[in-house]
Amino acid sequence: MSVNRPIVGSTAAGVGIKYIPVDRYEDDLSIQCDAIGTVTFTVDWTNDNIYYDTAAQSAINLSGREGLKTPTAAIWGNLIASGSADVSGTAGFPVNFLRINITAGTGSVNYVINQS
């Protein structure tokens, strides 16, 4: 078993989505989310290989690259159904990406992701 350093970050304030790549070879993941201000959000996971950087999308030719999907075409599972305060969730299986989807409010979300 290896222990990775935590992934620590924040979302932008207001409605929007933050995509977070994680170590897909680790099968024990926990996330702690702290709501800052007024915000409603979900945390979702996918095993799809997404490309989420719009600048990179235009810089490379993606034709013929199997397995790459846009975030909207990926299949997402829910990890935290509805957060509006401090909340945590765990996944006992490997994932490729997490997304924090702020659906309402003007606040932001601070997060800490641990994998081992």
> Which residues, including other chains, have CB under 8 Å from residue 60's CB and lie 6 or more apart?
none
Domains and CATH numbers, the chain: 7-115 (2.60.120)
pLDDT in tens, 71-113: 888 899 999 988 788 999 999 999 999 999 999 999 999 999 9
pLDDT in tens, 4-46: 789 999 999 999 999 999 999 998 999 999 999 999 999 999 9
Q: What is the pLDDT of residue 108?
A: 96
Q: What is the pLDDT of residue 4?
A: 77
